[in-house]
Amino acid sequence: MSTESTEELGTLVRKGMRWSFASTFLSRLANLASGIILARLLTPNDYGLFAVATVALVILININDLGLEQVLVRWPGDVAKVASTATTVIFGFSVVLFLGFQAGASAFATALGAPEATDLVRVLAFAILVNGALAVPSAMLTRSFRQDLRTYADLTGFVVTTGLTLVLALTGFGVWGLVWGRLLGNLVNGLLHLKFTPVRYRPGWDPAVAKELLRGGLPLAGATILAVAMVNVDNVVIGRLLGPETLGLYVLAFNLSSWPVTLLSIPVARVSVPAFARLQEDLVALRAAFARSMGLLMAAAVPICGLLAIMAGPTIRFVYGDKWAGAATALVFLAVLGLARVALQLCFDVLIAVGRARQTLGLQALWLVVLTPALAIGAHLHGVAGVGIAHMAVAVVVVLPAFLVALTGLGIRPGLLGSAVLRPALGAVLLCVVPYFATRELHPDLLVLVVGGVGGLALYLPVVYPMRRGLVALKTAKPAGREAEAGAV
């Protein structure tokens, strides 16, 4: 990779990363505030019913593009030659999915132990049509690193979703406020993506292009389906075995544990996949960038996950109220899962970027096959806490080692990654000391959170502070050689 092209890539990555993080941070901050209000207005049963409907929506939105969005993002040639056909394929399949789910909504909701959620499922399914119609414009924004425009669209959609949801919840609409808010916000977000896309493509059809697109997209879609199944199979298990009220408690805990993934992995993924893809011809540079990224992600994720795990009870009670206290037993273990998910997402990103879609499909299949029975066993033995334990154990003991083996095919050895995450690992031990004793010796919950959080960070930050050099190196994005790879650790 030439010096000029590498510097250009670095500029694009830095700009995209800044906007991705800004969008995610602001939306999550607002989401936290609105979530606290809604949790105090609604019941765990309401959240459980909405979770059932959301499972359906997440499944639909993640399979309707057949993997073609990611194909367009990393298409090596002139994307204009394939975008029109991609538009037709994605929207056509979205219509098929929508009609199928309208017919099967009752059976789906009943299977998840909440037949009263049938109408919620049917209404939320309309979002699939919006998503299908506007998938290509979204891909074009990602491909061009226009995260600034995506930020505006995402935040505007979020404001609409949150505002309408709160108004409807306050006026007695209950769980339907969540549904209508989500649907309208999705529509506004999609229309803004269409407005901001650099080029608009009309539907078209070329059988040869469609075949080529699907050849690259279907393995990606398969991996995505498995990934979605993995993060939703717990909802299915709890809904069927423990009921919607327990599901509501679990959803709150899982959403909290997903903060590191949402704050870090999602904005990083928006730029890491195209950035890693441009480095795939220079494996030395790729390895260096990946190791630096992993170390920095772990440095940022460890304090969030560690403090959530150690102070789960005080956090839930103080922020959401005593009626949600049952969620803390799951949050202890799900916070550790959140840390593992951050690491695994970056592994997934680099494998996708270099064209290892079939390999990621196998890894996702392994995860799901092991996870499903483990969750059922955990639910039977220890209820909602057992589900959290099973989720965490499978990710750490089975899936993470499997991904590490897969990365050796790119020359990314465990020793390289171990060196990259050494400081966050050592810092994690110190981080947990103060909050551990605070939860046992102090009252009330606010005092526990302040003392535990401040004390833990005071011990953690000096350990990881020297890693700022890695952040500077990643920002400069200079051409890598053997010396760059060595410096990544």
pLDDT of residue 308: 96
Give start and end residues of each alpha helix (H) in 243-326.
Answer: 244-257, 259-260, 266-278, 283-310, 312-320
Of the pLDDT bands very low, low, confident and very high (cuts 50, 70, 90), residue 424 is very high
Mean pLDDT on 363-391:
94
CA gap 345, 266 in Å, rounded = 9
Q: What is the mean pLDDT of the chain?
A: 85
Closest CA to 95 of 68, 69, 120, 60: 60
Q: Give the range among 109-123, 217-231, 439-453 with minimum mean pLDDT.
A: 217-231
Q: Give the range among 211-215, 265-269, 326-330, 392-396 with minimum mean pLDDT.
A: 265-269
Q: Does the pLDDT value for residue 486 go beyond 50?
A: no
Q: Give the range among 21-30, 38-47, 336-345, 395-404 with minimum mean pLDDT.
A: 21-30
Q: Does the pLDDT value for residue 337 go beyond 60?
A: yes
Of the pLDDT bands very low, low, confident and very high (cuts 50, 70, 90), residue 477 is very low
- In percent, the amount of the chain with pLDDT more than 70 equals 89
Closest CA to 455 of 431, 425, 481, 489: 431
Of the pLDDT bands very low, low, confident and very high (cuts 50, 70, 90), residue 426 is very high
216: number of Cβ within 10 Å:
17
pLDDT of residue 300: 93
CA gap 59, 270 in Å, rounded = 20
pLDDT higher at 153 or 425: 425
CA gap 186, 156 in Å, rounded = 10
21: Cβ contacts below 8 Å, ≥ 6 apart: 263, 267
pLDDT of residue 355: 82
Of the pLDDT bands very low, low, confident and very high (cuts 50, 70, 90), residue 12 is low
Q: Does the pLDDT value for residue 61 go beyond 80?
A: yes
pLDDT of residue 8: 57
397: Cβ contacts below 8 Å, ≥ 6 apart: none
Domains of the chain, by residue range, sit at: 3-487
CA gap 257, 263 in Å, rounded = 11
CA gap 401, 65 in Å, rounded = 30
Q: Does the pLDDT value for residue 306 go beyond 80?
A: yes
What are 167-186's pLDDT values in tens digits? 998 888 888 998 999 999 98
Of the pLDDT bands very low, low, confident and very high (cuts 50, 70, 90), residue 392 is very high
CB of 24 closer than 8 Å to CB of 304: no
Mean pLDDT on 350-376:
89
pLDDT of residue 190: 86
Of the pLDDT bands very low, low, confident and very high (cuts 50, 70, 90), residue 11 is low
- In percent, the amount of the chain with pLDDT more than 90 equals 43
CA gap 81, 205 in Å, rounded = 11
Mean pLDDT on 400-428:
93
Residue 232 tokens read as: 């939703």
Mean pLDDT on 107-121:
90
Give Cα 211 to chain centroid, integer Å.
Answer: 29
pLDDT of residue 10: 58
Residue 435 tokens read as: 């909050």
Closest CA to 480 of 275, 279, 268, 271: 279
CB of 327 closer than 8 Å to CB of 282: no
pLDDT of residue 216: 83
Closest CA to 87 of 183, 192, 197, 229: 197
For the ranges 45-54, 73-82, 276-285, the maximum mean pLDDT occurs at 45-54
pLDDT higher at 264 or 119: 119
CA gap 203, 86 in Å, rounded = 8
* Residue where the block lists tokens 């990555």: 13
For the ranges 26-30, 158-162, 221-225, the maximum mean pLDDT occurs at 158-162
Q: DSSP assignment of 324-372, as one string? A: GGGGHHHHHHHHHHHHHHHHHHHHHHHHHHTT-HHHHHHHHHHHHHHHH
CA gap 254, 467 in Å, rounded = 29
Cα angle, residue 352 at apex, residues 347 and 354 outer, rounded to 5°: 100
CA gap 382, 403 in Å, rounded = 29
CA gap 357, 361 in Å, rounded = 6
What are 115-133's pLDDT values in tens digits? 999 999 999 999 999 888 8
What are 34-56's pLDDT values in tens digits? 778 888 888 899 989 988 888 87
pLDDT of residue 478: 44
Residues recorded for the chain: 489
Q: Does the pLDDT value for residue 401 go beyond 90?
A: yes
CA gap 289, 477 in Å, rounded = 8
CB of 445 closer than 8 Å to CB of 317: yes
pLDDT of residue 471: 64
pLDDT of residue 488: 30
Residue 59, CA atoms < 13 Å, CB-side half-sphere: 20
Rounded alpha-carbon distances, angstroms, from residue 410 to 273, 275, 465: 15, 16, 29
Q: Does the pLDDT value for residue 5 go beyond 50?
A: yes
Q: Does the pLDDT value for residue 435 go beyond 90?
A: yes
Closest CA to 289 of 13, 19, 32, 105: 13
Closest CA to 279 of 4, 489, 9, 59: 9
pLDDT of residue 14: 62
Rounded alpha-carbon distances, angstroms, from residue 432 to 297, 426, 461: 19, 11, 12
CA gap 124, 470 in Å, rounded = 43
pLDDT of residue 474: 54
pLDDT of residue 475: 53
Q: Does the pLDDT value for residue 396 go beyond 70?
A: yes
120: number of Cβ within 10 Å:
23
250: left (phi over 0), alpha (psi -120 to 50) or beta: alpha
* Residue where the block lists tokens 């089975």: 398
